[in-house]
Structure 1
């Protein structure tokens, strides 16, 4: 990690510690007259619920988890104030033990960098503290959860806390990796929005239960169906991950049988994402393109080794066989719901803009721009990679070929941008990051 990034993490941790101290003083000292046994029981319950939810995240990806801890954070804010939310988050965090993505181990503060732990606690403390400022600015009063008056303060708290958290994380990525501020900030904010939007009504209902007689017991019973729903969703995600692992295994088998294919899909994915970003495509479309590029040659698993590994030009008969690989790839993926959106890439990545491609001869604007981006990225890698029957050519050579084929093999706009990126060295530079991360970089 770069020294400036470490300094940033330490700075956020220190500011978070200051917010935590202020929140503790405000909650325990300044508002001590509002304390009661009921308040203490509510605080302990919310600490327990926050800890349980943090210990039971759902892995959407190996680097992306979702948990329900925001339910207890919002409930703390509505009933006890934003200061309590800061305390609940900071106190429960050190005790969290989370299963690793592969289920073979656990993550906790004793096997995590102290600086990372310090930063994470500080980030959440600062985010909820800033959210609290907006909560009070909107007229929020802890304990007053009457409708519709509570809606605006709660909304201000949610949006401010989410946005500040996204900014804090993005500043780290900017310092460490050079990530652009826009549109990344929008992407990060939108990635947080669905889970928070779903958790918010539950947080309000939990607040209502805790104001009732026997509210603690009602709240505990209320959480049981949520845990059951979490378990059902975990089974669904596990099934999706198994499908993904199976397709990855097929791709690995293909790379093992074809030396040219080894690393090809990852490089094409990185190139395609870089071209798509240059063409200002939305993040969701780029992510689909990334996945489609990773699996675009999957159908070659069904092509005989004698053809795939032939050290010379193919005969017309052999070329006819290898041209079946897009449809073979579609046949492998079409019954997997998680991959239905990328079938268009697998099927059409060898189509030409002038209609002379295969398997369908589709032309022009009948295919989405992403298909032509994938085709250009695929061709660029083919041109700049060594094969048994031809040597690798330079990115400048590839640029000239792309421009010469604009409007013929390639979409004119895609060809021009890909050629410019190739000649400037941008496509070459995106490969080291891809190799470090083990997949295409978007």
Structure 2
């Protein structure tokens, strides 16, 4: 009964929100019709067609829905036409699009829930309309740049569009997923760079029109779709990359029951530490991937040794100690994962040089490896093992602190403790 009431309450909130956005779109459209007139019906028709084509070939993205190069068309319309025309173009692009969605085939306005269509069209009218008004007014204030493109006004209009668009989508997902608005909005803000890059294509499109009229738009639209195709190839490659890692992780877990969940938790802890240290995203992604695969070498270790409950003999322990090198060898044979091999090989080194396989010490252990060493050890301490119970969070963090300089890199221990505490509590909720 509670779940039913919760779902009903969520639906009421969702439809109320969509109704609010639709009402706001009507008010914006009334303002645009009252204050602006369509100056060029040819551009209206052409841009509407190109927008619908671009929206048809959108690219699905995890967490943030999808992205398409249609924003280049919208931004170019904001620069070349008027706010009313720009709002109509972007809404018609949504209305007549026909993208392919996995599991659903081609979707269009006829087989899409009415409330989704209303929300999408409404928010795009608001985004493009208000951004267009911002551009027109700041273009009058700052007389700078070309007749059809004012960099200052364009930048302000772009930021306005992005903020409105990300907020409307984040609020929607916050209601649907029942998560905090700030967390949902953060996911959409991360996509700003990609959209800004697409807006640059819109500027180039405006230049093409200024130089070659309509022919310039049609000529440029082909490389615009090629840009979309290139981006799609990149996402497919990235998808295959993570699917390969998931297969490898499942192979590890099948060989060692303890490893089930361990690799994922170590990846989460490693990411948290890397973010706390302020590392760039490419480094964070590399550390996460290495953490997922750090125990892949256990595939080459006898199951009976891995699953033994009693004390290990020296030969058995030596066999287990070989798994970092086995893992590094496996990974090094995969060209797109080979950059992870050194991190995996040395995840059992120690800061004092007493680790294995190479006995590396502080100055010779890369930062990425030092992060993985702490994350791996912390998860081992906070997990039940056949020979002992898991340590409490406080005791495990104290062990990390006590072993700074011997087992762990002392330069990152304080930040690691902050990150591990937050990540552990989040996993425990």
Q: How does 1:101-112 map to 2 (within 5 A)?
A: 105=105
Following superposition, the deviation at residue 281 of structure 1 comes to 4.8
Query: Corresponding residue for 1:439?
Result: none
Whole-angstrom CA distance in 1 between matches of 2:408 and 2:110: 54
Following superposition, the deviation at residue 159 of structure 1 comes to 2.4
Whole-angstrom CA distance in 1 between matches of 2:366 and 2:64: 29
Following superposition, the deviation at residue 48 of structure 1 comes to 1.8
2:77 is aligned with 1:76: yes
Query: Corresponding residue for 2:3?
Result: none
- State the TM-score, normalized to the length of structure 2: 0.80
Whole-angstrom CA distance in 1 between matches of 2:375 and 2:55: 41
Query: Corresponding residue for 1:156?
Result: 156
Query: Corresponding residue for 2:68?
Result: 67
Following superposition, the deviation at residue 297 of structure 1 comes to 1.8
Whole-angstrom CA distance in 2 between matches of 1:48 and 1:129: 19
Following superposition, the deviation at residue 99 of structure 1 comes to 3.1
Q: Deviations over 1:131-152 (max 9, x none)?
A: 23431232169xx993685322
Following superposition, the deviation at residue 252 of structure 1 comes to 1.0
Query: Corresponding residue for 1:43?
Result: 44
Query: Corresponding residue for 1:272?
Result: 270
Following superposition, the deviation at residue 56 of structure 1 comes to 1.3
Following superposition, the deviation at residue 25 of structure 1 comes to 3.7
Residues 384, 398 of structure 1: 8 Å contact kept: yes
Alpha-carbon spacing, 1:336–1:131, altered in 2? closer, same or farther (3 Å): farther
Alpha-carbon spacing, 1:285–1:232, altered in 2? closer, same or farther (3 Å): closer
2:306 is aligned with 1:305: no
Alpha-carbon spacing, 1:15–1:90, altered in 2? closer, same or farther (3 Å): farther
Tell me the matched-pair count: 420
Residues 80, 206 of structure 2: 8 Å contact kept: yes
Whole-angstrom CA distance in 1 between matches of 2:418 and 2:218: 60
Following superposition, the deviation at residue 68 of structure 1 comes to 0.4
Structure 1 counterpart of 2:427, from 428, 431, 438: 431
SS in 1 for 2:268: helix
Whole-angstrom CA distance in 1 between matches of 2:25 and 2:307: 63
Following superposition, the deviation at residue 345 of structure 1 comes to 3.3
Query: Corresponding residue for 1:20?
Result: 25
Following superposition, the deviation at residue 82 of structure 1 comes to 2.9
Query: Corresponding residue for 1:375?
Result: 373
Q: How does 1:12-411 map to 2 (within 5 A)?
A: 13-14=18-19, 16-26=21-31, 28=33, 30-32=35-37, 35=39, 39-59=40-60, 61=62, 65-100=66-101, 105=105, 118-139=118-139, 146=146, 150-169=150-169, 176-178=178-180, 185=186, 188-189=188-189, 191-197=191-197, 199-210=198-209, 215-216=213-214, 218-279=216-277, 281=279, 283-334=281-332, 336=334, 338-339=336-337, 342-411=340-409
Alpha-carbon spacing, 1:152–1:11, altered in 2? closer, same or farther (3 Å): farther
Whole-angstrom CA distance in 2 between matches of 1:359 and 1:373: 17
User: Could you list the runs of 5+ residues in structure 1 that have no partner in the other structure?
Assistant: 434-442
Whole-angstrom CA distance in 1 between matches of 2:51 and 2:244: 35
User: Could you list the runs of 5+ residues in structure 2 that have no partner in the other structure?
Assistant: 1-5
CA RMSD of aligned residues (A): 3.9
Whole-angstrom CA distance in 2 between matches of 1:389 and 1:107: 56
Whole-angstrom CA distance in 2 between matches of 1:30 and 1:91: 21
Alpha-carbon spacing, 1:90–1:243, altered in 2? closer, same or farther (3 Å): same
Whole-angstrom CA distance in 2 between matches of 1:145 and 1:157: 15
Alpha-carbon spacing, 1:240–1:149, altered in 2? closer, same or farther (3 Å): closer
